[in-house]
A and B are shown apart, each in its own frame.
Chain A
Amino acid sequence: MDILITGLILGGTYALIALGLNLQYGVSRIMNLANGEMLVIGAFAAFTLFTVGQVSPLLTIFLVAPLAYVLNWLVYRIMLRPLVKRAKNRGMLEVDAILTTFGLSFVMVGIMIWAFGGDYFSYSYLARPITVFGDNYGLNRVVAFICAAVLCAGLFLWLNVSRAGMAIRAVAVSPENARLVGIDVPKLSARAFALGGAVTAVGGAVISTFLTLDASTGVMFTMKALIIVIMGGVGDVRGTILAALVLGVGETFVASVIDPGLTLVAAYALFILILLFRPQGFFGKKPT
C-alpha cells in the first residue's frame, strides 16, 4: 500500500513531464531530447525564487509557464522550423531533430554549470508529514501530486473539448489532412511545441519541491519521459498518464524492495516488455 501510494504520487509528476514531451513529439513531430533540461530550468527558477524571495513554488509556476512558453516558441521558430523545411522526409527530420535537440541540451547544461555550478540543489518546502490511509507521506509530495493531477486533467479537458484542442489533435493525427480543413499547421506546431515546453517546465518547478536535482540530471528525466511516451503511445493523453503511473509504481517498487540504485533498470525492464509485446502503446491499435 505504502509503495503503491508513493509510486502513484511519483507517477503523477512524471505524467506532467511526459505530457509535455508527448505534445512536442505527437503534434510538432520533434523528438525533443532537451526536454529534461527545460524541467531543470523550471526547477532552478523555483529554487532561486524560494531561497531568495521566499516565493512559494506553487506561485512560481505562473511565472515559469509563460516564460518557458516563449522560450520554447523561439527555439522552435529559430532552430527547428528550418529543419522541418529542409527535411525531405520524416526520417531525415528525425535525425536532424535528435542531433539538434541533443546539442541544445548540452548547451543548456553547459550554461547552467557555468552560471550556477554543478552542485545539487534542494530546498525545504512543506516538508512535514501528512497521514494518508494510516501511513505518513511528505506533504510536499502530496501537494505536488495534486498540482500535477489538476494540470493533467485541465490539459486533457482542453484538448478534448476546446476548438484549439481539437485542431491540435487533428495535426497530431494527420498534418496533411489538417491543412486541408484550414488549420495553419506550422503555426499550430510552434504553439504545441511551446505549450509542451511550458508544461514540462511547470513539472520541473513542481518536482523540485521534493526531489534533489543538479544541472545535469535533465537527461535522466528525458529518458523516463521518452519511455513513458512510448509506453502510452505517441499523441495519446490517457495512455501517457497510465504509463506514467505504471512507471512510478514500478520504480518505487524496485527501489524499496530490491535497491534504490536500480530505478533505470526497472524503467528499462518495462520498456523492453512494451517493445516486445505492445510497441504501439497501451491503447494503440495494431498497424495494418
Chain B
Amino acid sequence: MKRADWQNLGWGAALLVVAALLPLTGDGYLISLGVSIAMYTVLATSWALFSGPTHYISLATAAFFGIGTYVMGSGIEYINYWLLLPIAGLIGGVIAALVGLATLRLSGVYFVIFTLGLAEMTRQAVTWYQNQTGHKGTYVLTELTDPHIYWQLLALAALVFLLGWAIGRSKLGFALRIIGDDEDVARHVGINTALSKVALFVVSGATAAIVGAMIAPRYIYIEPATAFTPMLSFQVVIMALLGGTGRLWGPLVGVIPFTLLWEAISSSFLNQTTLLLGLSFLAIVYLLPGGFVGLYDRLRGRAKKRSAMA
C-alpha cells in the first residue's frame, strides 16, 4: 500500500468515528435521519460497485431489500438475529446470481427490463403465498432500537467501502472497467465478461438483502407493500448517479443532499415526490452527467490546465 492509501484509510476511519458519535446527541429525529442516510449510503455504494464500472443500470435494489426484510421476518422466531443477517445476504446473493446468469449474458437492455419488474413480481409472489397460507404479515419483535440499527448500518457501510476499495485494486475491478468501456474488447482479451458481471451483481444483491434484514426491526410489522417499494430502487439509482459513480466516495456525496431534500419534500408535499424523482433524473442527464464527482473532476482539470498555462 502506498502512503496515499494509508492517508485515505485514516480519513475514512476518522469520519466513521465521528459518524458513530451521532446517537450520543439523543435527538430522535436526528438519529432517524442518520439511519436513512446510513441505509442509502450502503445501498447506493454497493449499487455503484456493480453499475458504476459496467454501466448496467440495476433496478433490483427494492427486490433484494424486500427479500432480506422477509428473511428476517419469517426467521426471527426460530433463529438468532445475528445469524439471520448472513443468511439474508446468502439468499439475496443466490437470487442475484440466478438473475445475473439469466440476463447478464445478454445486452444491457434485457437486464434493465428484468430488474425493473423484479420487486413487483416478488411482491406478487409473496402476497400470493401469504394468501395461500392464510396470514397477512409477520411481526419482527426485537430489543433493537434506532441507535443499534444505525451502528450496524455504519459497520456494514465500512465493510462495503473496504470491499469496494479491494475490488478496485483487484484484477476483477480492472476487468469490470474494461467491460464498461467496451465489452467486445473485454471478451477478445480473454475476460470472462458474464462471470465478472455476475460476481459484482451478487455483491450488490447480497448487501441490499442484509440492509433489508437490518431495517426489518424498525418496521415491527412487515407486509408485502412495505417491504417491496419499487420507489426504493429509483431513489438509490438517483443518489448514486447524483454523487457520481466514478469514485468510491461518489454515492455518499449524492446520498446526503438527496435524503435531506427527500425528507423535506415528502413531509410537506407528499404527492410531489414522484415529480421530484422525475425532475432529478432529468437534471442528472442534462445538467450533471457524471454527478458531483464528474463536476469535481472537470473543475480540477480546468484548474490544473490554468496553472500549467501560467
SS of A interface (majority): helix
Return the CB mask of A119-142 against B: 1 if under 8 Å, else 0: 000000000000000000000000
Query: Is A223 in contact with B116, judged by CB distance below 8 angstroms?
Result: yes
Residues of B within 8 A of A227 (CB): 113
The number of chain B residues with a CB under 8 A from chain A is: 38
SS of B interface (majority): helix
B17 at the interface (CB under 8 A from A): no
* Least Cβ–Cβ distance between B67 and chain A, in angstroms: 15
Query: Is A103 in contact with B272, judged by CB distance below 8 angstroms?
Result: no
In the assembled complex, the Cα of A220 lies from the Cα of B116 at a distance in Å of 10
Residue of A100, A223, A276, A279 touching B281 (CB-CB under 8 A): A100
Q: For A106, A226, A227, A230, which residue has the most chain B Cβ atoms within 10 angstroms?
A: A106
Query: Is A99 in contact with B110, judged by CB distance below 8 angstroms?
Result: no
B121 at the interface (CB under 8 A from A): yes
Which B-chain residue is minimally distant from A222 (CB atoms)?
A: B116
Query: Is B275 in contact with A275, judged by CB distance below 8 angstroms?
Result: no
Query: Is A106 in contact with B277, judged by CB distance below 8 angstroms?
Result: yes
In the assembled complex, the Cα of A265 lies from the Cα of B128 at a distance in Å of 10
Query: Is B271 in contact with A103, judged by CB distance below 8 angstroms?
Result: no
- Taking A265-B125, A271-B114 as contacts, is the C-beta distance between A103 and B120 under 8 angstroms? no
Query: Is A111 in contact with B275, judged by CB distance below 8 angstroms?
Result: yes
- Taking A103-B280, A106-B277, A109-B278 as contacts, is the C-beta distance between A96 and B285 under 8 angstroms? yes
Return the CB mask of B97-130 against A: 1 if under 8 Å, else 0: 0000011001011101110110011001101100
A268 at the interface (CB under 8 A from B): yes
- Spot the interface stretch: A54-62, A190-198, A206-214, A256-264: A256-264
Query: Is B108 in contact with A94, judged by CB distance below 8 angstroms?
Result: yes
A113 at the interface (CB under 8 A from B): yes
Residues of A within 8 A of B55 (CB): 91-92, 95
Q: For B117, B128, B279, which residue has the most chain A Cβ atoms within 10 angstroms?
A: B117
Return the CB mask of B48-66 against A: 1 if under 8 Å, else 0: 0000000101000000000
Which B-chain residue is minimally distant from A274 (CB atoms)?
A: B110
In the assembled complex, the Cα of A216 lies from the Cα of B127 at a distance in Å of 20
Residues of B within 8 A of A265 (CB): 121, 124-125, 128
Residues of A within 8 A of B83 (CB): none
Interface of B with A (CB < 8 Å)?
55, 57, 102-103, 106, 108-110, 112-114, 116-117, 120-121, 124-125, 127-128, 131, 183, 230, 234, 241, 271-272, 274-282, 284-286
Give 6 pairs: A residue, B residue, CB < 8 Å, sorted on A. A31-B109, A96-B285, A107-B282, A110-B277, A114-B272, A219-B116
